Every structure is written in C-alpha cells, then in structure tokens.
A and B are shown apart, each in its own frame.
Chain A
C-alpha cells in the first residue's frame, strides 16, 4: 500500500466542502417558479373517509391544485406493492395488500397521506391543507403486534379475516422438538425488540420538476442511489420511458436503509409536477418525517434452546412476530426471514433449528429496512439465549459461547447460506482482553464500595453484507487533463465513498486521490446498471467494480503504451502507476492522455481509457465481531453509565481504518440508542406519541461512551478485495453487550432480562421494585412514556 492506497487512514476528500456549508442537500435545491406541496395526513389510526370537501382549500389564496386518490385513480396511477414473496409450508402464498398513494376511502395509520395541496408558497399550501374538510368515521384500532393476534382484535384487512398474512416456517418442528426433548438443559427467552425511528438528521424533502421542452421529469430527493426509484416512478407509476425520469440525490443527510424506498410522497409529487407542468417542492418537518419514513425492528421473539451436558446446543426453536404496520412496505416481511435469516442462528452451530415467523398487520406506519435490517434482532436474541445458557449450565459466558462457535469454514447455515470465513473465538478473546475482563470483579467491588452497581457484558455477532441485488455497475474514465472520474452506481450518504474509491483508484492506477473525481447520485450520468447503497454493499460491490474497471483500463493502456514505446504489448508491464518496456517508461497519466489522441494509438482502437464493469458477486460476505460493555449504575437514579466500551470487528480487508471505525462508532451509537432510550411508541388509540426529538429518545453525546476499537481481520474469500461490510456491525453488537452488562449488574436483584429500551426508570424499578408492592413492582415490564 502506498501513501494513499488501500489501508491508509486518508482524511476525507468530501470534508472541506461539507465543512464549509457547501453540501447540496435536497432542500438546498430550488427551481425558478416552483410551487410548494403540502400533504394532508390522517389524524386517525383507523377510520373510514365518508366524504371529502375540497372547495375551501381550492379557493384558498395561492392554491394551484388539490389532489386526492380520485385524481390519481382517474389517471390510472397504480397502488404500491410489496416486493416480497413468501409461502407457508403447504405452499400457500402470502396474502398481500396494496397501498394507495393517497388514501382511498379508509386510513389505516396516523400520518397516512390523504391529499396533496399545491400552492405558491409553503405556508399557503399548509394553510390550505387545513381547510380540507373530511367527514371521518373512526374505527377501532390496534398498534401492538401481540394485541393484533388476539381474538376480536380490529382487523386491518377484513377480507383476509385475520391480521397475519402468512405463517412462514423453515420446516416442521418435529426434529427440533425431538432433539429438545433429549436436551440436558433448556433455556427460554422472551423478548420484545423495540420499534425504532431511523431518524436521519436530514428531514424528508423532495423537489419534482417537469421540463416541457424535453418532456422529462426530475426528482431531487434524499435517496440511497436513485436508479430503482427512477425505474419505479417511470415504468410503474407514470408510464413514461425510464430516461424521461431523472432522480438526483447529491448529498444526503443519512440513510440507514430506509431512504432507499419509493415513498408515496415521491410518486404524488412527480405526478403533480407533470399535471401542473411545473415544479413542486416539498419539505417535511420532523414530525412528518417521523410519521412517514418507515420504522425499524418491532419484533417479538420467543425462543427455546436445548443444550447437552457439555453445554453444546442441540436444538433451537424461535417464534417471531414482526409488526408490519398497516401496509406491507417494499421489503417489510423480509426483515426476519431474509434480513436476519441469512445469519440466524448467528455465530453458533445449531444441529436442529426450527424458525417460525408471523408478520402482523397493525395500525402503524410500515416497518422496513433499518441499519442491520433483521440482523440486530437475530443477534440480540441469540446473545440473550447464550447468557441464559451460561446461567443455566454454570459455564462462564465466554465459555458457553466458545463451545458453540462455528469454527470450520466455509460453513453452511441451517437456512442454507454459506459463511466463508471468520475467527469468532479470537475476536472474543481480543475484546475481553482489551476490556480487561479478567480484573472486572475488582472493579465491581470497588464500585460497590462507593454505592454503585457494576456489570459487564459480552456479545459476539455476525452480519451479512453485500446483498441483496447481486450486481453493481461502475465506470472509470481517465480524462484528458490527467484526472480520473469514477461514475459510481453505489451511493454515499455519509460513508465516504469519494475518499475510499479514490484510494482504490490510487492503488490500481497510481493516480493521486486529489486528481480523482466521484460522480454519483444522478441517474442521467451514473451507470445504467447501478443499484445503490444498502446492506453495507459499497466496499464489496462498488469496490470490486472499480478494481475490475481499472484492470480493463490498464489492459488497454498496455496496448497504447506498447504502441507509444515501440514495443510489444507482451513486453509492457504496469505497476505503481508506471508502464515499462525495457528501459522506457510512461506514467499512467501520460498514457491515458495520449490515448485520447487518435493519431497516437494503434490503428482501429477507440480513443480514450474509459471502461465500465458490472460486478456480479459470488456470495455475500459475513462481517462479525465481539463487543464488551461495562456499565456502572447509580441505584439512586437508575442511570447506567457506560464506563467502558470495546468493539473488535472482522470486516475483512480494511480499505480505510478511519472510515471503518467511523462506521463502527455510528452503528454502536444507534445500537446503544435502541438499548438505552429509543422507542417509537403508539398509544392505545394508535396515536404516535414519540414523533418529535423531544419525545423520541435520540442518543446524545453525554450518554454515549468513548469506544475503543480493534480489528480481528480475516479476509473474505469470495470477493476480489477481501472486504466485508462495516456499516451494520455496531448496531448488531451494542444492544446485547449493553443489556448483558445491565443484567450482570442487577443479578442480585433477581433480574435475568430487561427489555429495551432499558431506561433509568426501568432500572430504578428493577432495583427498588421489590420494596414497593403492587403496580410499581412489575414496572420493569411497564411501557416507558
């Protein structure tokens, strides 16, 4: 590796621009003469729309148009589908509803779009939306997945006759039951995995613009790479040629998995822009963003694990409920089955595995992909089971894990995925050593002498990265001025692609990162086969695409260099940016510049070094790691302070440690947020009561620890760069590490598990609950408000 190449902690190229306020986020964009859009949203969790009166709104000052589902229906705009196909064991397919872009006759969650007002100013649009008169007939509602299963629960889709669209199972439970019956120990864990709001700092926004002359629509929106949204908007909703729809996302203020979807607001806005023949801008406030961005997690898991007399797992049975929300989002039911299913049962060898999943409809906004998308839930469940197994068998927490780690690779999981590599025991050893696990009891005693409770937790986890779509399209062009341009299919919304991809170009072509330019986030110029960024796929999919493109550039460059140096291509070598033939040499830049001159290249050759590659992956990669968390609880307040946090990660070959660690820090903070304070809460009436930053517990700097990081690198065997993803690891490791530490600290109070978020109130009640009778004493399971 050179000064700027693979493995160097190069400082980010994008920073000077972003640090000076020169970012180009969606709300920074404006089109001359633009109108403003405002959505009227449902105030009810469940209600019939008996009548709609738009007259007052249409007559309000500045109003250009008011649209409802009737207008979309009249133009034949279809409803939104879920893309997931599932079946039960008998082969009966999952029942799937469609979601109208604007609600038709009935609303099913608070915040569902009902009408779109287009006016001259934002204030006028919002004021007019309030003048729309709707005659509602409220219906009973249900927001909680367990409640929705009870007999007599309100039905979201009466035509289905229940709230469960499929009962998916990996196989009948017979074998697991038999193995379980013979187990020496059985442990049970029941978990509520709390619903989260992804909450990127950039609120949702969009600007849709119709260009009459070109007959073309442009949408600026905070996406994770717009190609799929472009295709959806053009082909499905507007029925125009794909190239007549352009999607632009230059800078995006965070994605975390839930900004890759085609949201109904985008459809309504581009359609409206075309109707009025102009531009419509929309800026959601924070509450509207919380209402309408898809949420994450929201599972209920009941699991039983059987172990033999040596503490080895013999069987595992998991029953999962996943709260889908009112509709099925693009990927909704995929979360536990494919999201988590790719790795479940995580780092451990399980001979007999039974897995049952019931997706459940409720009167809430849809759930979909959020940082980890099913893997944090799976890892949390497994790690709680392993701690329970340690408790039951009397083995230490690390020993019971060690006895069950997968150690031989490639390893085929019970769900049929193949993990290529890893060294889980070494990762755990490293993390425990860095965290000084051995001397923890001394620290516990010292804290106790001061009146504080200390606990330590360990969590091993595995992740799957580089999925779902198996291809990515990248293009690299050497420019006439000596610079290199990367046309990227994958997309940065904070991950630092400009920096890392430039390092790769430096590694493969010898061009300095400062002379490399990244073009991304504009469907007019990014490669046709581009997919985007999600599931920690950019290092593997984008990175490999760049490597392959660069190899093609060099192969062509060799021919040009041979021609220029009057040699045979076979006699030309290329290394560290220099072509050599005998005693002559030319830099990559010299050859690349010459290659544009038709008089200086071999006859018949197309000028220029400009090559693309559509990388097809062989397999996903499996990042993994081990986190150790140490907490100190003040029993007077219930506040658990994280006094030590160690994260050891195997993310394969490290392209830039600065950026990998940044991903880990951010993921850990989101995982700790889930474990400590975040909770997307709907009340009994289905009102979403945590819809602002005042009510939703965002992790803040003073509750977050200083994180010590280490690498336990095992290069991935199934991709050209040897990389594994890094984006979701933190969110997988942090929840079980923190809850494990908490339970360890509270062991003397009879606590064996605490559901997330483990707020100070819950912790305080766990300590003092025993001294109070009646209601307070079961407060540990009470809902946090």
Chain B
C-alpha cells in the first residue's frame, strides 16, 4: 500500500508514491535521486542526513516521508545560488578546510546554516555544543567549528595559522 506525498524540494514541487515506512531520507535519495543527503547510522546519532524542513534543521532519517506532506524542503543540492555561487556557509567550509572525505559534510553544512541563523554571535563553546548531533571522523571538528563561527560570529575565529 502506498501513499502519494507532494512537497517542495529545493524550490520545485515534487511528488512520489511512498510506503508508510519510507523514511524522508529514502524518499530524497532513492526516489528523488538527491544523493547529496547521506545516511551514516540508524540510531539518529550522526547527522549526515540533516536537511531543512520548513526552515528548520531536521534529521531526515528520523522523519517519515508521509510526515513531510506539503512541507518545504531544502537539501544540500539546493543551497548554492541558482547561478552556482556557493552559499556563505559552503564558502566558509572551503576556506576553513571544514571537510576531508565529505561524507558528513552535507549534514554539517545544513546544520551550520541553522546554527548561524538561530544563534548569531554564538561563541566557540556554543557552536561545539550545537554540533552534538553531528559526527565527523576526519576533521577533528576544528575546521568545521571555525567555518560556522566565521559566519555566525566572525570575531570569534581564532587566529589563522595557514596563511
């Protein structure tokens, strides 16, 4: 038995037939072909799957596709401007070497955008605590924290040692 869901994804209306158990991330990846959103766990711990649902960061592995009926979804693929200009958070991740293998990155960037929007002026400690639900195995978080700070609170970025 399937249900039809209709939602707006990255500015476009999309619809699909989903099963009651289909996760939102499965709808995005497997049915809509948006493979930028990743799955790193099955216990809602890693945050590789973070997207925005109605302008809020959400772990898309923890929401059913049917729950997203009618909602406005933004994934990593829709973050840059239509002309390809990177979003300031994407640019900051590049500038501060906030990614290595790139697997946690889509979720980190979407979370970073959410943190900077909710908590302008956040200090380093706050940014680190806000990342509680996002795991990265490669970077030691240093470049990620610097990148998010540079958008949320540029004055708080520690002196840069890479020139």
Q: Which residues of A pack against B, CB within 8 Å?
A: 9, 11-12, 14-16, 18-23, 25, 27-28, 199-203, 251-254, 256, 285-287, 493-496, 657-659, 661-662, 665-670, 692-694, 698-702, 704, 706-709, 730
Q: How far is the CA of A9 from the CA of B134 in the complex (A)?
A: 27
In the complex, identify which listed stretch (B1-9, B52-60, B62-70, B88-96) lies at the interface while the others stay far away: B88-96
* Residue from the set A201, A252, A662, A706 with the largest chain B CB neighbour count within 10 Å: A201
Contacts of A709 in B (CB 8 A): 161
Query: Are A701 and B103 closer than 8 Å at their CB atoms?
Result: no
Query: Are A662 and B106 closer than 8 Å at their CB atoms?
Result: no
Contacts of B97 in A (CB 8 A): 11-12, 658-659, 661-662
Using A20-B80, A253-B102 as known contacts, say yes or no to A286 and B41 having CB atoms under 8 A apart.
yes
Q: Nearest 4 pairs between A and B by C-beta? A: A21-B36, A253-B103, A494-B101, A669-B140
Partner of B134, one of A202, A203, A254, A701: A701
Query: Are B40 and A494 closer than 8 Å at their CB atoms?
Result: no
In this complex, how many residues of chain B approach chain A with their Cβ under 8 Å: the count is 57
Contacts of B134 in A (CB 8 A): 701
Encode B139-150 as 1/0 by CB contact (under 8 A) with A: 111111100000
Partner of A19, one of B48, B94, B141, B163: B94
Q: How far is the CA of A667 from the CA of B140 in the complex (A)?
A: 7
Query: Are B137 and A657 closer than 8 Å at their CB atoms?
Result: no
Add 10 more A-B contacts to A287-B42, A494-B101 (CB < 8 A).
A19-B105, A201-B104, A253-B101, A286-B43, A494-B100, A658-B97, A662-B138, A670-B140, A694-B43, A701-B141
Contacts of B39 in A (CB 8 A): 27, 203
Residue of B nearest to A8 (CB): B163
Partner of B101, one of A20, A27, A201, A692: A201
Query: Are A22 and B36 closer than 8 Å at their CB atoms?
Result: yes
Is residue B122 contacting chain A, with contact meaning CB distance below 8 A? no
Query: Are A201 and B103 closer than 8 Å at their CB atoms?
Result: yes
Residue of B nearest to A202 (CB): B103
Q: How far is the CA of A256 from the CA of B41 in the complex (A)?
A: 18
Query: Are B145 and A21 closer than 8 Å at their CB atoms?
Result: no
Query: Are A200 and B100 closer than 8 Å at their CB atoms?
Result: no
A-B residue pairs in contact (CB < 8 Å), sample of 30: A15-B99, A19-B94, A19-B109, A21-B37, A23-B102, A27-B29, A27-B39, A200-B101, A201-B101, A201-B138, A202-B40, A203-B41, A253-B102, A253-B104, A256-B137, A286-B40, A657-B162, A658-B97, A661-B97, A662-B138, A662-B143, A665-B141, A665-B142, A669-B140, A694-B45, A698-B137, A701-B132, A701-B144, A702-B132, A704-B140
Number of A-B contacts (CB under 8 A): 186
Contacts of A495 in B (CB 8 A): 100
- Minimum CB–CB distance from B15 to chain A (whole Å) comes to 21
Query: Are A16 and B94 closer than 8 Å at their CB atoms?
Result: yes
Is residue B83 contacting chain A, with contact meaning CB distance below 8 A? no
Query: Are B102 and A14 closer than 8 Å at their CB atoms?
Result: yes
Query: Are A700 and B137 closer than 8 Å at their CB atoms?
Result: no
Q: How far is the CA of A667 from the CA of B139 in the complex (A)?
A: 8
Q: How far is the CA of A661 from the CA of B100 in the complex (A)?
A: 12
Query: Are A706 and B142 closer than 8 Å at their CB atoms?
Result: yes
Query: Are A692 and B43 closer than 8 Å at their CB atoms?
Result: yes
Q: How far is the CA of A19 from the CA of B104 in the complex (A)?
A: 10
- Minimum CB–CB distance from B46 to chain A (whole Å) comes to 6
- Minimum CB–CB distance from A251 to chain B (whole Å) comes to 6
Query: Are A693 and B41 closer than 8 Å at their CB atoms?
Result: yes
Query: Are B101 and A251 closer than 8 Å at their CB atoms?
Result: yes
Query: Are B131 and A700 closer than 8 Å at their CB atoms?
Result: yes
Residue of A nearest to B105 (CB): A18
Q: How far is the CA of A666 from the CA of B144 in the complex (A)?
A: 12
Q: How far is the CA of A154 from the CA of B163 in the complex (A)?
A: 58
Query: Are B42 and A202 closer than 8 Å at their CB atoms?
Result: no
Is residue B136 contacting chain A, with contact meaning CB distance below 8 A? yes
Q: How far is the CA of A260 from the CA of B135 in the complex (A)?
A: 23
Query: Are B104 and A286 closer than 8 Å at their CB atoms?
Result: no
Is residue B116 contacting chain A, with contact meaning CB distance below 8 A? no
